[in-house]
Amino acid sequence: MSQGSNTDFILAVEGLTVSFDGFKAVNDLSFYVDQNEIRVIIGPNGAGKTTVLDLICGRTKATDGSIRFRNRELTRLKEHQIVKAGVGRKFQNPSIYPDLTVFENLEISYPSGRGVFGSLAFKRSAEVVARIEEIAGRIFLSEHLHTQADLLSHGQKQWLEIGMLLIQKPELLMLDEPVAGMSVNERRQTAVLLREIAKEHTMIVIEHDMQFVAEIADKVTVLHQGRILAEGSPEKVKADPKVIEVYLGH
Ligand SMILES: Nc1ncnc2c1ncn2[C@@H]1O[C@H](COP(=O)(O)OP(=O)(O)OP(=O)(O)O)[C@@H](O)[C@H]1O
């Protein structure tokens, strides 16, 4: 049976290529992600990691290849259709509303089908409030529900943005360097948070901190020059001479 017809994977990327003026930032890339898996993508600067996330979420259009999410082809969809299909993305810098409270940031993200102002005006149902409180608990911000987001620590802002994604219930969450700039304690808590989230969601995470990678990853994909250099468990990848040569040894 060809892998092309396999329906067990939540995400199947095959032959994915993107060319920027002839330069292939992602070059004939194939990988498969299981449901409830945490897949971590590592690799040197410029390896194509962020570009892969950009391709999956529709921000960048593929030159060639396919991205199937639950067997639905994403390369033909627009960014907002991919969000609707169940793919959520968090960028490196938190994009939260600094003047609003934690509660209000989560409320705005609640999938009500309205824009920012419509969301604020719509009556807070008990169901919405309960969901916001539940999410705030998961992201360690129960005590800060009515704190203005601007006053949170950098790490807490990152958690809030993860919460803003979670409240939309995406099946697949993509996080770009979620622990960058976090303290050791915040990193530890984030590892716990991500393992907890993986019980209900699938995740693709770009990360450089190998200790954190080992704590969260089910499987690691190592990219180099737009291609896969190695793939497997964190232990296997860490011991791979090719990976040590181009990435870990530096
Ligand atoms: N829109 C674009 N136009 C031209 N070149 C691009 C574009 N986006 C990315 N690139 C190039 O593609 C390559 C891969 O970039 P990408 O940001 O995906 O790497 P990365 O692995 O995420 O690196 P880093 O760890 O530095 O974030 C780089 O050489 C980059 O300059």
Count the residues in the chain: 250
- The reply to whether ligand 1 has any atom less than 6 angstroms from the CB of 47 is yes
Ligand 1 site-directed mutation target among 17, 19, 20, 205, most atoms within 8 Å of CB? 20
pLDDT at 120: 52
Which band of pLDDT confidence, cut at 50, 70 and 90, is reported for residue 235?
A: very high
pLDDT at 91: 77
Residue closest to 38 by CA, chosen among 200, 226, 242, 244: 200
Ligand 1 site-directed mutation target among 29, 50, 92, most atoms within 8 Å of CB? 50
Helix, strand or coil for residue 27?
A: strand
Cα(95) to centroid(ligand 1), Å: 21
Q: pLDDT tens across 84-124, in order?
A: 999 999 877 768 999 999 999 999 998 865 555 555 555 56
Hey, what domains does the chain have and what are their CATH numbers?
1-86+208-250 (3.40.50.300)
Kindly report the average pLDDT of the chain as a whole number.
91
In this prediction the pTM is 0.90
Q: pLDDT tens across 178-218, in order?
A: 999 899 999 999 999 999 999 999 999 999 999 999 999 99
Residue closest to 82 by CA, chosen among 199, 198, 167, 173: 173
Place of tokens 């040569």: 245
Average pLDDT over residues 144-163: 96
Q: Is residue 80 over pLDDT 60?
A: yes
Q: pLDDT tens across 26-77, in order?
A: 999 999 999 999 999 999 999 999 999 999 999 999 999 999 999 899 999 9
Helix, strand or coil for residue 174?
A: strand
pLDDT at 3: 45
What is the rounded CA–CA span in Å between residue 161 and residue 106? 9
What is the rounded CA–CA span in Å between residue 214 and residue 148? 34
Give this complex's ipTM.
Answer: 0.95
pLDDT at 249: 76
DSSP track, 183-206: -HHHHHHHHHHHHHHTTT-EEEEE
